[in-house]
């Protein structure tokens, strides 16, 4: 009986969302996939911490673009709704300003128009309608030409959109900042603050980020989901599905070096901190690209953490049991600073904690409706975040400095109507120095490069690295940061790898029908 050849093996470094997505795609195509993860759990930035005896999501808390995961899971014959208990939020987010002025954004666009009309008047409601239409147009223009595509350059993007459609290209407003363009729609500074905040979703300043980021408004309008068991459950479920396809995942397996061959021109495998070498002709690296120089034995280029001036922001994240008093919280609630521009000046220019930070609060026990939750006398799981500079490789945050940041956060919450009685003995703090240790060579930057300037999106690396056989995934590469974007980066990396293998004739990806593999890997897959 003829012995069946082994499948083509690929090593994935990192079990973040990008790495898991790549592993799923590759395994469904017939590859043998080994995922090496340095920590003891999957998810990367979708991490959990234990505070007061309860588990908290301590990373991203917003799930959008569900279609990304539905498309990915077609290869497994399933969809996200069948794998994860999800609630679609009716109330997208609640927003507070000084003295408790409040505006809710809803999943229903009509309700948003009326809410803004009641909050700021007819002119602002009309401006919101124009803004919503334009943000949708930007998203529609970029969805297939940029977001869900291999990294273009400005010329190729223009061709994809259509050189004969100058109006469409003009609609992207690439040479204007988000903050300046918002003045075309809103005169109320509070509304400019609210919609400018979308720049922070990629770790950037709205005063420097391009206006194309207005597309985030449409992304949220099309759906925000709350996983019943938390965001970390998404990573866990994707890992389970990958294991069902035969993916091997090893935890506590820290990769120290990407091994090269042929005079340093192509990948030969990876070496682990314990001394083991794992051979592989293809490696998907799901980590921040700032770490690549050290992994490739080139620590001098670029220097550790890259250029600090190009880093996205970091954060102070506080997870603690707490009893909120005052204004009611939604699952997602934002408390805006009185000094918005000074906040970003502190983070990106002075490289210092802002004196008056905007504070994001995630009440993790509350539902999509926003007001249901534990009784007032019961401590609930509260996550708070303020923006900080990505200086964790150069600066250790002392207990006194963290206390000053917590005081600034509490002062802002109180000014906007919330008193948060936090259990300080049980709280868990994550600051830029911890994030730098968790995500090496980043300085704690949580989003790769900042999206500042019209070329920012084109400056992110694509899936194919210069080193033959090395592919890149994660929030620091195209198409950018965020949970669904990281998943797309993994899918794109896997597709590039499979296309390159197919072009050599050494491997033929398994065909699929209804998401299920219809033929086994052939003898051609042995190399």
DSSP secondary structure string for all residues of 219-253: HHHT--EEETT-THHHHHHHHHHHHHTT-EEESS-
**HEC states along 282-296?**
CEEEECCHHHHHHHC
pLDDT of residue 309: 81
- pLDDT tens digits along 432-444: 999 999 999 999 9
Angle at 127 between CA 125 and CA 130, to 5 degrees: 115
Angle at 230 between CA 252 and CA 417, to 5 degrees: 125
- pLDDT tens digits along 19-56: 999 999 999 999 999 999 999 999 999 999 999 999 99
Whole-number Cα distances in Å, 355 to 198, 359, 387, 406: 21, 12, 11, 11
**Average pLDDT score over the chain:** 89
**382 token code pair:** 């509260």
pLDDT of residue 523: 29
Phi, psi of 12 (to 5 degrees): -110, 125
Question: In 46-188, where does DSSP find H-type helix?
Answer: 66-73, 80-83, 109-120, 122-142, 154-161, 166-171, 178-182
Q: Exposed, middle or buried by CB within 10 Å (0-12, 13-18, 19+), for 348?
A: buried
Provide the sign of the torsion angle of the four alpha carbons 21, 22, 24, 28, taken in this order. Answer: positive
Q: Cβ distance 185 to 130 under 8 Å?
A: yes
pTM of the model: 0.91
- pLDDT tens digits along 491-520: 999 999 999 999 988 777 775 433 434 333
Q: Cβ distance 218 to 231 under 8 Å?
A: no
Confidence band of 301 (pLDDT split at 50, 70, 90): very low
Instruction: Please state the rounded mean pLDDT for residues 448-456.
Output: 88
Instruction: Please state the rounded mean pLDDT for residues 467-471.
Output: 97
- pLDDT tens digits along 143-196: 888 888 887 766 566 656 665 455 555 566 677 999 999 999 999 999 999 999
Angle at 81 between CA 71 and CA 35, to 5 degrees: 60
- pLDDT tens digits along 69-118: 999 999 889 999 999 999 999 999 999 999 999 999 999 999 999 999 99
- Residue 53 host element (H or E): none
Phi, psi of 27 (to 5 degrees): -65, -40
d(CA 486, CA 505): 29
pLDDT of residue 287: 95
Provide the pairing of β-strand 359-363 with 332-335. antiparallel
Instruction: Please state the rounded mean pLDDT for residues 394-401.
Output: 96
Instruction: List domains and CATH numbers for the chain.
Output: 9-85+231-307+449-526 (3.50.50.60), 113-222 (no CATH), 308-438 (no CATH)
Whole-number Cα distances in Å, 210 to 31, 200, 241, 402, 437: 39, 12, 37, 32, 30
């Amino acid at each position: 009986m003829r012995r069946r050849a082994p499948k083509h093996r690929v090593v994935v470094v990192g079990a973040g969302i990008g790495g898991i997505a790549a592993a799923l795609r590759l395994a469904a195509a017939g590859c043998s996939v080994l995922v090496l993860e340095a920590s003891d759990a999957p998810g990367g930035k979708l991490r959990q911490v234990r505070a007061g005896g309860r588990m908290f999501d301590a990373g991203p808390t917003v799930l959008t673009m569900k279609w990304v995961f539905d498309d990915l899971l077609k290869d497994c014959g399933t969809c996200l709704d069948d794998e994860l208990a999800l609630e679609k939020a009716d109330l997208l987010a609640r927003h507070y300003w000084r003295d408790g002025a409040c505006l809710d954004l809803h999943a229903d666009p009509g309700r948003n128009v009326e809410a803004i009309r009641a909050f700021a008047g007819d002119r602002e409601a009309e401006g919101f309608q124009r803004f919503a239409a334009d943000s949708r147009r930007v998203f529609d223009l970029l969805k297939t030409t940029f977001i869900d595509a291999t990294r273009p350059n400005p010329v190729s993007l223009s061709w994809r959109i259509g050189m004969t459609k100058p109006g469409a290209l003009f609609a992207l407003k690439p040479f204007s900042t988000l903050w300046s363009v918002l003045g075309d729609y809103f005169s109320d500074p509070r509304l400019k603050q609210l919609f400018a905040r979308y720049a922070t979703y990629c770790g950037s300043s709205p005063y420097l980020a391009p206006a194309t980021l207005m597309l985030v408004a449409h992304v949220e309008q099309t759906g925000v989901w709350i996983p019943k068991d938390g965001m970390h459950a998404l990573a866990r479920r994707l890992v389970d599905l990958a294991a069902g396809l035969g993916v091997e995942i090893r935890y506590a397996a820290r990769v120290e070096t990407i091994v090269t061959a042929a005079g340093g021109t192509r990948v030969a495998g990876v070496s682990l901190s314990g001394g083991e070498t794992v051979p592989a002709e293809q490696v998907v690296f799901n980590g921040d690209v700032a770490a690549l120089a050290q992994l490739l034995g080139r620590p001098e280029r670029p220097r550790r953490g890259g250029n600090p001036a190009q880093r996205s922001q970091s954060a102070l994240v506080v997870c603690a049991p707490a009893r909120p008093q005052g204004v009611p919280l939604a699952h997602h609630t934002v408390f805006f600073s009185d000094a918005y521009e000074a906040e970003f000046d502190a983070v990106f220019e002075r490289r210092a904690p802002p004196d008056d930070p905007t504070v994001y609060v995630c009440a993790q026990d509350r539902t999509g409706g926003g007001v249901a939750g534990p009784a007032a006398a019961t401590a609930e799981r509260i996550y708070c975040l303020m923006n900080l500079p990505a200086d964790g490789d150069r600066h250790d945050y002392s207990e006194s400095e963290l206390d000053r940041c917590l005081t600034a956060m509490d002062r802002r919450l109180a000014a906007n109507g919330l008193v948060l009685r936090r259990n300080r003995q049980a709280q868990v703090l994550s600051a830029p120095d911890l994030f730098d240790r968790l995500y090496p060579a980043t300085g704690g930057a949580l989003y790769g490069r900042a999206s500042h300037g019209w070329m920012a999106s084109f400056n992110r690396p694509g899936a194919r690295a210069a080193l033959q056989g090395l592919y890149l995934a994660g929030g620091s590469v195209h198409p950018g940061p965020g949970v669904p974007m990281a998943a797309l980066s993994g899918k794109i990396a896997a597709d590039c790898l499979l296309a390159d293998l197919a072009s050599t004739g050494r491997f033929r990806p398994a065909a699929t029908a209804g998401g299920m593999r219809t033929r086994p890997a052939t003898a051609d897959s042995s190399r």
